[in-house]
Structure 1
Amino acid sequence: MIPPDIPKLPGLGRTWYRRGAGYWLRRASGALLWLVLTAMMCAVVVELYRSFRVHLPPAPRVVWDWTQVAASCGFAARGWMRQRRAIREKLLNPPTPAQAWTDRRYDSRRGQNLGRAALIPALLVIPVVPSLFAWSLGTLAAAFTVREYPSEVGARRALANRDRLVGGQKRLR
């Protein structure tokens, strides 16, 4: 049983403390959810790209397809490296449980005001959507393949500091 004073983390609850079957089930289910959403978005991206490429003449179409393959591979690798670097930086100064929840709230509200204003720019980038989507795939893959999330490291440090302070106060009395 996990002690009730262990803080909950976004997406992991209190399972991060023991890292047992529940923890790995939560991590796997989160990754599976994103995999399903990504697969659905991939279908949309392929259809958008097909709708663009049918308007190209045959010779430029082949060149454009190979350009997209090369750009997509490059962007996927770039997304992976950028996300790994960001995780490494967060591990150096991990968020406390309260900061993790604040970051989660901020991240979930960030893209809500786009609405119809994003429609025109979205239509303009249809020719390069596969490359942009490959970047997001690399970023997601890097985020889900880390051994330990920065929020877990921050929570462990916060618990260690709390225990050290509580232990120090007991010794002073």
Structure 2
Amino acid sequence: MTTIQGKVVMPGMASPTTPDPPVPRLPVVGTTWYRRGVRYWLRRASIALFILLFTAFFCFIAFSLYQGFRSALPPWLRPYWDWAEIAATCVTLPWGWIAARRQYRKEIADPPTPEDAWRIKRERARRGRSLAVTGRALLIIAAPVMPAFAGFFVAQMICAVTVPRYPSELGALKAMAAAAAQRTP
């Protein structure tokens, strides 16, 4: 195999061919998504573990805030409030799952290109900083219904961890297929 003017020439071939395009690097999974080998699944498992720990911490904070609010209620009202909170949480769990699955289906219908995936990641990181400051004040206000918020959040996180492929992976596959189609005469 030799290279002539940047093109690969295989022995016995009459004309040079262009090399395959490089595998694009994606947010979170890097280039491991292409082969989906051990490194990919280790990365997915570590992401799932991080999300599990973060979700457990969020639920701890949510129930601590709720417990603080609950202690301010009159004793006769607490059982009724608890049952209302259980009912609200039973509604928000499937609601969070359905909302996350709809969002996933929408994203895989029109997956982002690798460049768009990086842009979206930067925008979410930028937006996340401002929401973190705003969210602290809202947590205190939302203390009466924090278990319901926690149920919605848990369902969203479980859905995010259990998807078969990230939308950015599908977008990268689509971009690679388009690049390969452009190379083919």
Q: Fold-level match, TM-score > 0.5?
A: yes
Q: Residue in 1 aligned with 2:17?
A: none
Shift of 1:31: 1.0
Matched, 1:110 2:114: no
1:27 is aligned to 2:44: yes
Cα distance in 2 between the residues matched to 1:39 and 1:26: 20
Q: Which residue of 2 aligns with 1:13?
A: 30
Q: State the aligned residue count.
A: 166
Aligned position for 1:101:
118
Query: Match of 1:57?
Result: 74
**2 CA distance for matches of 1:31 and 1:55?**
36
Q: Evaluate the alpha carbon distance shift between residue 118 and residue 85 of structure 1 in structure 2; reply closer, same or farther with a 3 A threshold.
A: closer
Please state how far the C-alpha of 1:142 moved relative to its aligned partner.
Answer: 0.8
- For residue 91 of structure 2, what is the amino acid of its counterpart? G
Paired residue type of 1:79: G
Structure 2 residues without counterparts, runs of 5 or longer: 1-19
Q: 1:6: how far off? A: 0.5
Distance 2:175 2:136 in 1: 43
Cα distance, 1:117 vs. partner?
Answer: 5.0
- The match for 1:141 among 155, 158, 161 is 158
* Over 2 Å off, 4+ runs: 113-122
Q: Which residue of the partner structure matches residue 179 of structure 2?
A: 162
What percent of counterpart residues are identical? 41
Tell me the equivalent position of 2:148.
131
Relative to its length, the structure with more helix (as a share) is: 1
Runs of 5+ unmatched residues, structure 1: 169-173
2:138 is equivalent to residue 121 of structure 1: yes
Pair 1:72–1:104, CA change in 2 (3 A): same
Q: Determine the structure 2 residue equivalent to 1:77.
A: 94
Question: CA–CA distance in 1 between the matches of 2:46 and 2:72?
Answer: 40
